[in-house]
């Protein structure tokens, strides 16, 4: 049996679909469906059971039954809102809950693969899995780094696999429910569907208008890296998950405009509230991931965005 927390979310639901394609239907989804719209992400998945997050927390803390024999946990559940400043809520969701689940897995020697974030690097220009590069600028990023550091302290004494995956800018099918936290590709596509010009930030942080750069990675590639670690339980550690290539927001906009055959770029003033806390550049250093033999062939931005746009059209989104 495999548990996927955040299983009704963006990456979690894609993991479940990938497991189904491998013949695995013994999957328990853990999530919080206060936003019931997320059910669409798993409506076509084959799963064994669904557990509310609060119910699951009672189980892993020893207060209420057992979900059965667990082979592996993919921990994708988190509050991912980078603009949320309720620290108590963020730390309970992203730190305390993660610690509870980690120790549940350690007690039973269950492999534990969890989602971290490139947000831990803040506004620096070096993206290597080293403390000197980690400078979070919001409470979300700090909650993720806090857990990464907790994992680092116990990693060497663990008797089962622990893997933290620092996702860079993930885009692709199934992200619409994320609202403001969905990818720039999702936002720009919605603007084009509304027949408005796509809006990008004007010059900032030494970058020309729209030339801020991110490491954009398709959700299918993120899922592939998760599944690689599932197949390689001898490897533990904290690893970047990106393509290792930066592309500009202008690149994203132009690909979308070409696909739709219409639209222009409108540059808007950079928001004052984001100055000093906005990642104008990200690029994953993949040396540590590749050093253990994980040398995945990633989709190019053109391939990934065209696949995404075709999916959106086919699903009338």
How confident is the model at residue 65, as a pLDDT?
56
CA dihedral 228, 231, 234, 240 (to 10 degrees): 10
Looking at 97, 104, 114, 140, which residue is catalytic? 140
* Contact (CB, 8 A) for 217 and 11: no
Token pair for residue 155? 């990693």
Tokens 């699951």 belong to residue: 56
- DSSP, res 199: E
Q: Say what the pLDDT of residue 25 is.
A: 97
Tell me the two tokens of residue 280: 């104008």
Cβ 8 vs Cβ 80: under 8 Å: no
pLDDT at 64: 54
Tens digit of pLDDT at every position of the chain (317 positions) = 999 999 999 999 999 999 999 999 999 999 999 988 899 999 999 999 999 999 999 999 985 556 678 999 999 999 888 888 899 999 999 999 999 999 999 999 999 999 999 999 999 899 999 999 999 999 999 999 999 999 999 999 999 999 999 999 999 999 988 888 899 999 999 999 997 789 999 999 899 999 999 999 999 999 999 999 999 999 999 999 999 999 999 999 999 999 999 999 999 999 988 888 889 999 999 999 999 999 999 999 999 999 999 999 898 77
Annotated catalytic residue within 53, 99, 135, 178: 178
Q: 45 is written with which tokens? A: 């998945």
**Residue 30 belongs to what H/E stretch?**
strand 27-31
Q: What is the phi/psi pair of residue 127, to 5°?
A: -125, 65
Catalytic residue status for 178? yes
Query: Do 176-213+246-281+305-310 and 2-168+217-242+285-297 have the same topology in CATH?
Result: no
- The predicted pLDDT at position 82 comes to 83
Q: How far apart are CA 281 and CA 231, in angstroms?
A: 32
β-pairing verdict for 169-171 and 237-241: unpaired
Domain ranges of the chain: 2-168+217-242+285-297, 176-213+246-281+305-310
pLDDT at 112: 98
Q: Which residue has the tokens 């992400």?
A: 41
- Which residues are CB-neighbours of 3 under 8 A, at least 6 positions away? 27, 28, 30, 67, 70, 72, 73, 74
Element at 149 (helix H, strand E): helix 139-154
CA distance 3 to 18: 14
305: left (phi over 0), alpha (psi -120 to 50) or beta: alpha
Confirm or reject CATH 3.40.50.720 for domain 2-168+217-242+285-297, answering yes or no: yes
Running DSSP on this structure, what letter comes out for residue 80? -
| Tokens linked to 136 | 């979070």
* pLDDT at residue number 66: 65
Helix, strand, coil percentages (3-state) for the chain, rounded to 5, are 45, 15, 40
Phi and psi torsions of 80, nearest 5°: -110, 15
The residue assigned the tokens 């059209």 is 313
Q: Which residues contact 149 (CB under 8 A, 6 or more apart)?
A: 131
Is beta strand 112-117 parallel, antiparallel or unpaired with respect to 162-167?
Answer: parallel
CA 281, chain centre distance (Å): 17
Q: Check: CATH 3.20.20.70 for 176-213+246-281+305-310? A: no
């Amino acid at each position: 049996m495999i548990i996927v927390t955040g299983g009704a979310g963006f990456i979690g639901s894609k993991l479940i679909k990938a497991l189904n394609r491998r013949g695995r239907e013994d999957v328990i989804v853990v999530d919080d469906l206060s936003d019931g719209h997320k059910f669409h992400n798993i409506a076509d998945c084959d799963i064994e059971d669904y557990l509310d997050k609060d119910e699951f927390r009672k189980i892993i803390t020893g207060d209420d039954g057992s979900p059965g024999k667990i082979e592996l946990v993919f921990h994708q559940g988190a509050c991912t809102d980078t603009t949320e400043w309720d620290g108590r809520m963020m730390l309970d969701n992203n730190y305390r809950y993660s610690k509870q689940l980690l120790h549940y897995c350690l007690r039973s020697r269950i492999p534990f693969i969890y989602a971290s974030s490139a947000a831990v690097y803040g506004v620096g220009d070096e993206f290597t899995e080293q403390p000197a590069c980690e400078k979070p600028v919001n409470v979300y990023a700090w909650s993720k780094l806090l857990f990464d550091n907790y994992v680092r302290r116990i990693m060497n004494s663990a008797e089962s696999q622990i893997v933290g995956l620092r996702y860079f800018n993930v885009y692709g099918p199934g992200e619409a429910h994320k609202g403001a936290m969905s990818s720039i590709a999702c936002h720009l596509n919605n603007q084009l569907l509304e027949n408005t010009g796509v809006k990008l930030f004007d010059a900032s942080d030494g970058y020309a208008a729209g030339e801020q750069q991110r490491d954009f990675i398709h959700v299918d590639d993120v899922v592939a890296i998760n599944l690689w670690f599932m197949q390689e339980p001898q490897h533990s550690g904290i690893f970047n998950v990106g393509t290792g290539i930066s592309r500009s927001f202008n690149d994203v906009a132009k690909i979308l405009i070409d696909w739709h055959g219409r639209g222009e770029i409108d540059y808007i003033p950079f928001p004052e509230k984001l100055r000093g806390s906005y990642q104008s550049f990200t690029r994953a250093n993949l040396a540590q991931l590749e050093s253990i033999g994980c040398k995945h062939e990633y989709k190019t931005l053109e391939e990934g965005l065209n696949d995404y746009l075709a999916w959106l059209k086919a699903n009338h989104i």
